[in-house]
Amino acid sequence: MMHFLLLFSRQGKLRLQKWFLPLPERERKKIVKDMTTMVLARKPRTCNFLHWKDLKIVYKRYASLYFCCALENQDNELMALETLHRYVELLDKYFGNVCELDIIFNFEKAYFILDELLMGGEIQETSKLSIVKSIEASDMLQETEQKRRSEHPSSSEIIQNTTCF
């Protein structure tokens, strides 16, 4: 399973952090610092795998963002690269030509998308189309609810049934 997934900029600023293991806050901060130092120190044409403690670190740079995740010993590193790539494709599809600013200003949406791709450190859906549809439906649900609230501010809120997917 994946232990954590981090996104950080070239200057080492954290843009997204997803932890799949319970770790105290202090420990998390230290790991983030270690990761950023290690990954940012890598030269351009080196391989995307590192060893850190007993974990395998897989990282990939997309434009100005580094995507970095930690795997256990039996996990397939090449597949992790594919997973990171899948996440970037999803972000791209959602935001349309995604850039770092999109992720900064809409971080909560980036999390929602990630939660449709990974769960408990494992891949939950292998079909890109499926994930995109789920996100769109969730957003639609949110929008209709907000619209209804603005139209009928006094009525109590009940979330509508949605068709099974």
Regarding 155 and contact with another protein (CB under 8 A), the answer is no
- For another protein, which residue of 11, 154, 155, 161 counts as binding (CB under 8 A)? 161
Q: Which listed range, 61-69, 92-100, 149-157, lies at the site for another protein (CB under 8 A)?
A: 149-157
Least separation in angstroms between residue 74's CB and another protein is 7
Q: What is the C-alpha to C-alpha distance for residues 47 and 35, in angstroms, rounded to an integer? A: 16
Distances (CA, A) of 81 to 58, 74, 145, 152: 7, 15, 37, 47
- Print the binding letters for residues 56-95 with another protein: x by CB under 8 A, - otherwise: ------------------x-xxxx-xxx-x----------
Least separation in angstroms between residue 97's CB and another protein is 18
Strands (DSSP E) contained in 28-90 are: 49-52, 55-62, 65-71
What secondary structure letter does DSSP report for 161? Answer: P
